[in-house]
Amino acid sequence: MERTFCMIKPEGVQRGLIGEILARIERRGYRIVALKMLRLTPELAARHYAEHEGKPFYQDLIEHITSGPVVAMVLEGPGVIAALRQMMGKTNPLEAAPGTIRGDYAIDLGHNIIHGSDSPASAAREIDLFFTAVELEG
């Protein structure tokens, strides 16, 4: 079974979209292996967005993701990485198709509601950043 990391960003939490997003994931048939609400520290945010360090938008990413609580989760199921990316829609909500999470709820590129790992390697790295082995048991 494939696993991926998913995070509802501060604007999704603030706007009360947690239940809607979780329902979409569960209706699709994927299992939520682990789930928690937390507020990212600047250090954790920097590790999460390490590949963007040095880019012009990096500081905005860090400030945004640490601005409020997020919901982090690990999802499991066949093809879950690609399927979640499809469910989320394009990164820029203006280009995201209606029916996708971003197409239905996101406002702009800087506030696009949700993050999902883009490959097995990033899924493993991000899961390890946010969850301990004990939290993933069961």
Task: Give the residues across from 115 on adjacent strands.
Answer: 7
Domain count, the chain: 1
Measure the CA angle with vertex 97, ends 100 and 122; round to 5°: 60
Catalytic hit among 48, 52, 64, 115: 115
Phi, psi of 87 (to 5 degrees): -65, -35
Distance CA 40, CA 45 (A): 6
- Is 115 designated active site? yes
111: DSSP letter: B
pTM: 0.95
Q: Please report, for the domain that includes residue 53, its CATH number.
A: 3.30.70.141
Domain range for residue 58? 2-136
Q: Which two tokens stand for residue 40?
A: 């990212």
Q: Which two tokens stand for residue 57?
A: 């938008």
Q: What is the pLDDT along the chain (138 residues), one digit of tens a residue?
A: 999 999 999 999 999 999 999 999 999 999 999 999 999 999 999 999 999 999 999 999 999 999 999 999 999 999 999 999 999 999 999 999 999 999 999 988 889 999 999 999 999 999 999 999 999 986
Tell me the chain's radius of gyration from C-alpha atoms.
14
